Structure 1
C-alpha cells in the first residue's frame, strides 16, 4: 500500500519546488535580497522534513493499530467484531470518536485469492501543520477552528485461520430446537463446545459451554454464540457395520419381570469377558454391583432388543469397568415395544476401549433404531461416570445432573443425540483428554483460531 505520508510529502515538495523555481528565475535582486527572500523557504524546507518524519511515524502507528484491529475483528468473528476492533486500536492510542479519530471495521472485506470471511479495519486521524505552511502547503483538511490539517489513514485486512472445532455435544435433530435449556441456573459445560443441527435456545443461562453453534438460530447457548453454522453429518453412523450382522437370539428376548426371565440375564459381582463380543438376548439386569473385567483391548456387549437396567432406589446398583478394562455397550435389534437404552437409578461407571474398531465408544445405539431410544433423565439418576462417547442418534435425552469421567478412565465424554434438554445441574465435567481416550469427537467446520493479516 502506498504510504499516505509519502503522497503528502510529494505535495509539499511540489509547493517548495515551485517557490524555489520562482526564486531561481528572478535575477533582478541582490544576493542579500535573495537570501532574505529564500530564508522562509529554507525554514519551510527544514520544517517540512521534520513534519514528513512526524507524518510517517504517525502513519506507522496507525498501521499498527489497524493491523491489530483487523486481527481482533477476525478472531472475534461474531456480531461484536466492530467493538473488538475499536478496543484493539484504542490500545495504540487511537480511540474511536476522540480527537477526530475514527476506527471503522467491516466483515465483508474483499479477500485475496477469492477467500471468504475477511475483515478490514481502517484507522483515520488528523495531524496539525507546522512549518510546512511557510512553503505554501495548505494540508488536506481544516478543523472546526479553521486550522489546516493533514488527514492520515491506514487500512488492514485479516481473516480467521480456520481450525476444526470439536464438539462434546452434537444434536442431530434438524428442525425446531435441538438443544434447549429452560432455567438450569447451575448448568456447567465449561471446556465443552455444543452444536445443534437445528436451533438452540437457552433461557436464563448459557450452559457455560465455551462455544455454542447452531445451524439455525442460537438463542443464548454458549459463552460465544454462533448461528447459521453448517450442519454436521452423523459422525458415527459408519460404525454400524461393526455390529454383528446375525442376531443369535432366535427371536427370544426375555424382559425383566416376566416368569421366564433367565438367570443368565441377571449380572452381579465380577463379570469376566475374554474379549470379542458377548451377546445378551433381551434385558440385562444388574442385581448387585457389577465389575466388568476385560483384556486391555476391551470387550463388546451387544444387547439385543433389551435395556441395561441398574435398579431403582434404594436398590440401585453400579455397572463399572475394572481398572485396565474397557467395554462398549451396543444396543441392537428391531423397532417395536423394546427399550434400547440404559435405565434405572443406578450408576454407569465405564471406560470405552481406546483402540480397535470401537475405540472411544462407550455406548452405541444402532442408528436404525427409532423407538424405545429416549432417556428421560441422565447424570443424576441414573448417574453417568463415563469415559468415551455415548451415541444415541435418534434419542431425546434430558440431562439433569453431572456427567463425570469413569473412576478408572481419562477425562473425556461425548454425547450425540437427536434432541437434548438440559435442566437443573446438567453438567459435563469430563473433558480435555479425549485424544488419550481414543475418542475422535465430532468436528465441525465453524472457524476458530486467531486472525491473520492478508493485506
Structure 2
C-alpha cells in the first residue's frame, strides 16, 4: 500500500503544471533585465547624442557665418549655450575651418562635440563601455557637423567688367538726377557716385564704393557671363562682304554710299543676315522677321547711324543686332546718331529663344576699338528689351534706357565701364520679365548666410 501511494504521488506530481511559469521566469529574469537595461540605456544615449548633434549643428553654422579669426570662439560659445562646455566634465568641443566640403575643397567649418556618460544597467549583460573615468565605467558619445558659407544670388541690370583696368567701372559726371530705378549693379573695380545714390538698389564693387546705392563690397570680380555667345557669330568669310563703305563728313552731316542707306521696311530671314560697313538711316526703318521667328542682323565693320530716324522691330518681330568684323582699321562697331538735329530712336525687342535668346545688341568681344557709345538714352533714345552687351566699350548714359515698345520690362547693360550723366539710367527692370524675355541675368552674390553640409 505505501508503495502504491508513493507511485500515485509521483504520478500526480508529474502531471501537476502549477509553478511552471515561475521556474521559466527564474531562468529568463536575468536576460530580460539585461535587455530592458540595454534598451533603456541606448535610449538615454540617443537623447544625449541628439542634444550633442543639435549643439554641433548650431555651432558649425555660427562658425561659418562668423567667418573671422575668432570663428572657433563663436562656435564654442554656441555649444556652451546647449550645455556642452569645452574641457569641462570630460566634454571636448573641436572646431576647424579646414574641413572637407562636398565639392572637394577644404574650406568648410566643422564642429565635433564629444563626452562621456556613466554606464547604468548595461553592465548586467557584460558591456564595459569605452573608458574608466574616476573608477566609473563610461560610454563615449559624439556628434559631428559641418557647414559652409552660403551666398544669395542677386540679379544685376548693370555690370561693368572693367577689363580695361579703368579705376571706376561705374561713375557719375556730377549729375544727381540720374536714376537707376532700384536696379542692382556691379563694378569689377570701384564705383563712384557723387551727389546722389542714383536710385540704385544694391551696388556691388570689388574696389571702393562711394555713394552708390546700398554699398556692398564683392570679391572676387565677376567673369564675363556672355563672352561664350561669341561662338554664335558667323565667320567673316561667310558674310559675302567684299568692301565696307564708311561714312564721310558732308557739310554738317554725314553720308555713305547709297547701297548703305536704309529707309522703310527691312525684312530679315530667320537666322543670320548681313550688312557690310556703315549703315545710315535716311528714314525710319522697321525690322520684320518671319512670324514666330527671330533673326540675327550682323553688321560687319560698320556702325549703325540712326541719323535722327527710328530703327525698330515691328510687333511680333525680334532681332539680335551683332557688331562684328576687324579690330582696328578705323572701323566703328556700335549704334550711334551723327545728326545735328533731334536724335533718333533705337527700339529693339530681343528674341526669347534660340542661340541669341534675350540678346538685343552684341558686340563681338574680340573688338576693343571703335566700340564706345557716348550718348545712349538721349540723342538717340534707346528703348530696348533684352541684353545690351558691349564688353570693351565705355558707355555714357545721358538719358534713361527704357523697354522696347512691344517687349518686356527687361534692360540689362554689360560694358567695360559706364558713366551716368543728366537723367541717365535704366528703367525699372523686372527679374520675372527678364525670364519671360529669355534672358538669364548676370548675378552677384550676397554673402552672410551658411548652410549645413554634414
Provide TM-score, normalisation by structure 1: 0.62
User: Does 2:332 match 1:339?
Assistant: yes
1:242 deviates by: 1.2
1:244 deviates by: 1.2
Describe the SS at the equivalent of 1:239.
helix
Query: For the aligned residues, what is the CA RMSD?
Result: 3.6
Whether the 8 Å CA contact 2:65–2:448 is kept in 1: the answer is no
User: Does 2:197 match 1:206?
Assistant: yes
Whether the 8 Å CA contact 1:193–1:210 is kept in 2: the answer is yes
Whether the 8 Å CA contact 2:156–2:442 is kept in 1: the answer is yes
1:195 deviates by: 0.9
1:306 deviates by: 0.9
1:214 deviates by: 1.2
Whether the 8 Å CA contact 2:245–2:256 is kept in 1: the answer is no
Q: Structure 2: which 5+ residue stretches go unaligned?
A: 1-57, 68-95, 110-146, 338-342
Partner of 1:215: 206
Partner of 1:297: 293
Partner of 1:97: none
Whether the 8 Å CA contact 1:253–1:304 is kept in 2: the answer is no
Mapping of residues 89-168 of structure 1, within 5 Å? 161-168=150-157
Match of 1:356 among 354, 357, 364: 354
Whether the 8 Å CA contact 2:244–2:302 is kept in 1: the answer is no
Describe the SS at the equivalent of 1:380.
coil
Match of 1:196 among 159, 183, 187: 187
User: Does 2:282 match 1:287?
Assistant: yes
Partner of 2:401: 403
Instruction: Write the deviation string for residues 203-258 of structure 1: whole angstroms up to 9, x where unpaired.
Output: 1112222111112222222224325x211111111111211112421244343568
Mapping of residues 56-71 of structure 1, within 5 Å? none
1:264 deviates by: 3.4
Describe the SS at the equivalent of 1:277.
strand
- CA distance in structure 2 between the aligned counterparts of 1:372 and 1:173, rounded to whole angstroms: 17
Whether the 8 Å CA contact 1:256–1:285 is kept in 2: the answer is no
Describe the SS at the equivalent of 1:203.
coil
Whether the 8 Å CA contact 1:208–1:223 is kept in 2: the answer is no
Partner of 1:277: 272
Match of 1:236 among 226, 229, 235: 226
Match of 1:173 among 149, 159, 162: 162
- CA distance in structure 2 between the aligned counterparts of 1:332 and 1:250, rounded to whole angstroms: 15
Q: Which runs of 4+ in 1 moved over 6 A?
A: 109-118, 449-455
Partner of 1:36: none
1:177 deviates by: 1.0
Partner of 1:372: 370
- CA distance in structure 2 between the aligned counterparts of 1:170 and 1:374, rounded to whole angstroms: 16
Whether the 8 Å CA contact 2:243–2:277 is kept in 1: the answer is no
Partner of 1:39: none
Mapping of residues 389-428 of structure 1, within 5 Å? 389-428=387-426
Whether the 8 Å CA contact 1:192–1:431 is kept in 2: the answer is no
- CA distance in structure 1 between the aligned counterparts of 2:321 and 2:246, rounded to whole angstroms: 18
Number of matched residues? Answer: 320
Whether the 8 Å CA contact 1:298–1:325 is kept in 2: the answer is yes
Distance 1:404 1:349, change over 3 A: same
Whether the 8 Å CA contact 2:176–2:194 is kept in 1: the answer is no
1:327 deviates by: 0.6
1:440 deviates by: 1.2
Partner of 2:340: none
Describe the SS at the equivalent of 1:269.
strand
Instruction: Write the deviation string for residues 165-194 of structure 1: whole angstroms up to 9, x where unpaired.
Output: 222111111431111114331222234211
1:454 deviates by: 10
Whether the 8 Å CA contact 2:388–2:412 is kept in 1: the answer is yes
Whether the 8 Å CA contact 1:280–1:303 is kept in 2: the answer is yes
Instruction: Write the deviation string for residues 74-127 of structure 1: whole angstroms up to 9, x where unpaired.
Output: 69x9xxxxxxxxxxxxxxxxxxxxxxxxxxxxxxx9798779799xxxxxxxxx
Partner of 1:439: 439
Whether the 8 Å CA contact 1:159–1:451 is kept in 2: the answer is yes
Describe the SS at the equivalent of 2:198.
coil
Distance 1:387 1:449, change over 3 A: farther
Instruction: Write the deviation string for residues 363-390 of structure 1: whole angstroms up to 9, x where unpaired.
Output: 1111111111111111111111000111
Mapping of residues 40-79 of structure 1, within 5 Å? none
Distance 1:261 1:360, change over 3 A: same
- CA distance in structure 1 between the aligned counterparts of 2:385 and 2:447, rounded to whole angstroms: 26
Mapping of residues 2-13 of structure 1, within 5 Å? none
Provide TM-score, normalisation by structure 2: 0.62
Q: Which stretch shows the higher mean deviation, 322-331 or 238-247?
A: 238-247
Distance 1:252 1:377, change over 3 A: closer
